[in-house]
Chain A
């Protein structure tokens, strides 16, 4: 997993609430047995005029020119600005893989769906919850200024807005353990396996108490 320490990038505003995982990556692409290659089909239904199929050359498809990902000013963007309950719906990690493959490193929203939020951390994407007023203000800034960028400092937990005149730092919360894993790019399976003895001891105890769970 790629480390996340400090990141600066262009902000892409996606002004919709309750964006669900079906919208992030439509089901026809879930047939893949791979983890990569989902970027070109991120937000497929909104991005292209007609439904796509896996295996197509997506660069040849006709696009909805007004959808944010298709607007020249947001090209190369890596920070997604979103509305409440982002990532609701299914557990498909393909949604996060699509965002990651597209180049998104952080998502800022007033709230996220639980499973999606969790999946982000497993793939080196930082989901950041900010209060609605702040998110509103960031939407305004992004819409006003072409090439609007933000800096995200995970170590000190700040979203940093910078221009010629001033620097504004907005603090955000992140779980200590998840932060640690992201900062170090750690695979949490390796971490858990350090506790194998605890798991075995637990199993021994439970085999006595609830043998039917081990049949």
Chain B
């Protein structure tokens, strides 16, 4: 019999019962909750007179709607000017109080984007099943966990039963072999992967990312890669546990510890040693990429798969023979305000956004700060903002003086939240504004109606802010 994949192992360990047709009840260890996709679930519980199965499995935080300007923070939700957004966060606070859920409120230094704070607190552990009413829950798979987004009905289902009704996905291995070149980051790797397999390439699969270039990544880089698994169509992305994983988890508030009575940490670490695919595991599909050929990436269109090297030219619909694809290219170019064949490094930008659950951790801040240090934001750039992923990331960055580096260069230094990643609050693009963004989605209107998003790494976004257009960061010294 063939060995098991990492996904097989975690799946098997969490099946409570399974029907003959493969429909399973899957036990959920960790449930992360935020303000946007939870109110209707709490309401549903109340209407059916149901309680929570296990309130200690839930960690809640407001993130999508919170203002990121300092003037609007520090006084609970009182500073939220949009009454509908305020009501949503007040509702989360009220629900968490009523159902006795541990919540990091807006003023708590631990508040931040749900996918940043879960790992930061050690609430995401290897081998766990993790769900959240948010598609970027795939982020947590970086810890050798099975983590995926769910809809609000499922949020309610997990709250009431601690289980999800699931069918097993197929296994895909994406191996990034060899080492990446200088200046090529986790973001470039994952964008290149999506460019290769397409936004539906992973549909129906759990993807395991492997290979030397993935093993070489820090936990933060691994989170960036897994974060965008959903952009390749896969609900879950994951990476095997190794020493890097264990070192990151150790000592975090929710992580196990050894006590006089019990050496729980040691036992956990021992159990985690098995969280990798067996050598003879079988995958339904295997994709290989050569790390050495990946260059800094920039998306040019309205889907993350529309991505190329910074030194490439945007495609020409006329040279695409497939009529549907050709129309896709011309629609995207029209929306993005680009001309066929234009050099990507000649595209000028209006705004820079460094943040989101893809790239708002301390290493991202450091990478971007290293580029802007001693420089100024270009004249044509109207707004450049840095939004740290959590209060703790913000503090760490400030302790290292990174905030000053950004502010001196002309960037705005904001409070943590989702911000211009999805533009639910005042942080947004105006029609036709063009943005170099470290977020994960460049869909039409994602950062504001008519706004034009180019997805890049933090260093590339910072460099574009300084140059006023995209530049190959490998040429900056």
Q: Which residue from B135, B204, B424, B441 sits with its C-beta under 8 Å from A91?
A: B135
Interface: B366 (CB within 8 A): no
Q: Which residue from A111, A113, A188, A199 sits with its C-beta under 8 Å from B16?
A: A199
Interface: B328 (CB within 8 A): yes
A210 neighbours in B (Cβ, 8 Å): 127, 268, 271
Question: Are A195 and B17 in contact (CB-based, < 8 A)?
Answer: yes
Q: Which of A163-215 contact B (CB under 8 A)?
A: 175-177, 187-189, 192-193, 195-196, 198-199, 202-203, 206, 209-215
Min CB–CB distance B228 → chain A (angstroms): 12
Chain B's closest residue to A54 (CB) is B84
Question: Are A193 and B43 in contact (CB-based, < 8 A)?
Answer: no
In the complex the two chains form, what is the Cα distance from A33 to B40 in whole Å? 6
Given contacts A54-B84, A115-B149, contact A45 B444 (CB under 8 A): yes
Question: Are B254 and A215 in contact (CB-based, < 8 A)?
Answer: yes
Q: Which of A6-14, A24-32, A150-158 contacts B (4 or more CB under 8 A)?
A: A24-32
In the complex the two chains form, what is the Cα distance from A209 to B127 in whole Å? 12
Min CB–CB distance A103 → chain B (angstroms): 19
Interface: A5 (CB within 8 A): no
Given contacts A31-B84, A93-B151, A215-B256, contact A22 B23 (CB under 8 A): no
Interface: B162 (CB within 8 A): yes
Interface: A60 (CB within 8 A): no
In the complex the two chains form, what is the Cα distance from A23 to B331 in whole Å? 15
Interface: B303 (CB within 8 A): yes
Min CB–CB distance B84 → chain A (angstroms): 4
Interface: A146 (CB within 8 A): no
Q: Which residue from B152, B235, B449 sits with its C-beta under 8 Å from A45?
A: B449
Question: Are B153 and A93 in contact (CB-based, < 8 A)?
Answer: yes
Interface: A88 (CB within 8 A): yes
Question: Are B233 and A195 in contact (CB-based, < 8 A)?
Answer: no
Interface: B27 (CB within 8 A): yes
Q: Which residue from A27, A93, A209 sits with its C-beta under 8 Å from B424?
A: A27
Q: Which of B85-93, B113-121, B369-377, B378-386 contacts A (4 or more CB under 8 A)?
A: B85-93
In the complex the two chains form, what is the Cα distance from A51 to B19 in whole Å? 47
Q: Which residue from A22, A114, A198, A206 sits with its C-beta under 8 Å from B443?
A: A22
Interface: B156 (CB within 8 A): yes
Chain A's closest residue to B203 (CB) is A114
Q: Which of A93-131 contact B (CB under 8 A)?
A: 93-94, 96, 111, 113-115, 118-119, 122-123
A122 neighbours in B (Cβ, 8 Å): 151, 153-154
Interface: B405 (CB within 8 A): no
Min CB–CB distance B134 → chain A (angstroms): 6
B39 neighbours in A (Cβ, 8 Å): 33-34
Chain A's closest residue to B92 (CB) is A33
Question: Are A192 and B152 in contact (CB-based, < 8 A)?
Answer: no
Q: Which residue from B150, B153, B268, B303 sits with its C-beta under 8 Å from A212?
A: B268
Interface: B199 (CB within 8 A): yes
In the complex the two chains form, what is the Cα distance from A31 to B83 in whole Å? 10
Question: Are B264 and A211 in contact (CB-based, < 8 A)?
Answer: yes
Question: Are A33 and B423 in contact (CB-based, < 8 A)?
Answer: no
Interface: A134 (CB within 8 A): no
Q: Which residue from A26, A28, A96 sits with its C-beta under 8 Å from B151?
A: A96
Question: Are B19 and A177 in contact (CB-based, < 8 A)?
Answer: yes
Given contacts A84-B200, A92-B37, A115-B235, contact A199 B21 (CB under 8 A): no
Question: Are B157 and A189 in contact (CB-based, < 8 A)?
Answer: yes
Interface: A161 (CB within 8 A): no
B148 neighbours in A (Cβ, 8 Å): 115
Question: Are B16 and A118 in contact (CB-based, < 8 A)?
Answer: no
Min CB–CB distance B66 → chain A (angstroms): 12
Interface: B82 (CB within 8 A): yes
Contact indicator per residue, chain B 1-41, by CB within 8 Å of chain A (1) or not (0): 00000000000000011010101010101000000110110
Question: Are A33 and B443 in contact (CB-based, < 8 A)?
Answer: no
Interface: A76 (CB within 8 A): no
Chain A's closest residue to B19 (CB) is A177
Min CB–CB distance A128 → chain B (angstroms): 16
Question: Are B235 and A195 in contact (CB-based, < 8 A)?
Answer: no
Interface: A71 (CB within 8 A): no
Contact indicator per residue, chain B 148-169, by CB within 8 Å of chain A (1) or not (0): 1111111011001111010100
Given contacts A31-B85, A111-B203, A212-B125, contact A189 B48 (CB under 8 A): yes
Q: Which residue from B84, B204, B254 sits with its C-beta under 8 Å from A32?
A: B84
Chain A's closest residue to B148 (CB) is A115
Besides the contacts A85-B200, A198-B25, what 18 more A-B pairs have beta carbons closer than 8 Å?
A20-B443, A27-B423, A31-B424, A54-B84, A114-B235, A118-B150, A119-B151, A176-B23, A177-B19, A187-B48, A188-B157, A192-B25, A195-B25, A210-B271, A211-B267, A212-B255, A212-B256, A212-B268
Those 3 A-B pairs whose CB atoms lie nearest each other, nearest first: A212-B256, A122-B153, A33-B39
Residues of B participating in the A interface, judged by any CB pair closer than 8 Å: 16-17, 19, 21, 23, 25, 27, 29, 36-37, 39-40, 43, 48, 50, 53, 56, 64-65, 82, 84-85, 87-88, 91, 125, 127-128, 133-135, 137, 148-154, 156-157, 160-163, 165, 167, 199-200, 203-204, 233, 235, 254-256, 262, 264-265, 267-268, 271, 303, 324, 328, 422-424, 441, 443-446, 449
